[in-house]
A and B are shown apart, each in its own frame.
Chain A
């Protein structure tokens, strides 16, 4: 494991909210990040079906997009969300982990642009997609 990946992983796992939800960073390099979040009864938004809340998907999407920005070679430091839009395509299947993959596809001196998808076990049909703009820090 490279030092950068090790540091980034430690940083992500040091985020209290991400740790509380059991988020695990499995990939983070060159503007791409993959984070998985296990199914958890605390995340249920519809008690009748056991489907997790859209808000929980937002939390993992936001973390994953931020990680993608931090892993971009042109970004020296941290980042913060400017805006994030999430489209919910379908309900996540109860009992399955959510795996998000974010790509920081363009970066300027001040803004990073990111796209992300969230999947469960059915990798053909995304649960949700996201697009966002993030700050670029550590450079003037």
Chain B
């Protein structure tokens, strides 16, 4: 029987792939969105920052920031699910030192956000679920919350065009 890979090797490979996917996008860096990974499950984390405020009186997160955070989480989660097998088999090599290019991210066709309560001036979290992913199109649902997982402050559904394999 083949011995399983050492856990550090597995973690390193997955974390490198995730870093390459997220770190290469300036807008994700600008918003400050990070991804927490547990196995193949991703949680988007948006640490609060003053520049993300939309209503200085309350204060509350900007509605556009909420939309952008959910969209980023949806796109990265979708891309991650689509690349997962290639990451695991090692056929997708992300090594930036080798100059390997990142696969393109899926393109958003439409994105519809429901605002359920105002975004508080603290960290926000989001988790996306790929409802359907075909060869050309995908549909993704994403939920955002802050202090309490059960109390969503926003949720969204979007449709995406998948990148073509090169």
Contacts and interface: CB of A to CB of B under 8 A. Distances in A.
Interface of A: 14-18, 20, 41-48, 52-56, 58-63, 66, 78, 80-88
A55 B63 contact: no
Given A48-B104, A78-B55, A83-B112, A42 B67 contact: no
B68 A87 contact: no
B45 interface: no
A42 B27 contact: yes
21 contacts: A15-B53, A15-B56, A16-B51, A42-B30, A43-B30, A45-B25, A47-B26, A53-B28, A54-B108, A54-B111, A55-B72, A56-B27, A56-B68, A58-B64, A58-B71, A66-B63, A80-B63, A84-B113, A86-B67, A87-B109, A88-B111
Interface string B42-75: 0000000011111111001011110111011000
Contacts of B52: 16-17
B56 A53 contact: no
> Shortest 10 CB-CB distances between A and B: which pairs?
A55-B68, A59-B64, A53-B27, A62-B64, A85-B112, A17-B62, A58-B67, A81-B63, A42-B30, A16-B53
A41 B26 contact: yes
B134 interface: no
Contacts of B113: 58, 81, 83-85
A59 B104 contact: no
B110 A87 contact: yes
Contacts of B55: 15, 78, 80
Interface residues of B, number: 40
Given A16-B50, A84-B112, 18 more contacts: A16-B51, A17-B54, A18-B62, A42-B26, A44-B27, A46-B104, A46-B105, A55-B71, A59-B62, A59-B65, A59-B67, A63-B54, A83-B114, A84-B63, A84-B67, A85-B111, A86-B67, A86-B111
B115 A53 contact: no
Interface of B: 24-31, 50-57, 60, 62-65, 67-69, 71-72, 101-102, 104-105, 107-115, 118
Most B C-beta atoms less than 10 A away, residue of A48, A56, A58, A63: A58
Contacts of A44: 25-27
B62 A62 contact: yes
A15 B62 contact: yes
Contacts of A20: 51
A101 to B, nearest CB: 16
Contacts of B64: 17, 55, 58-63
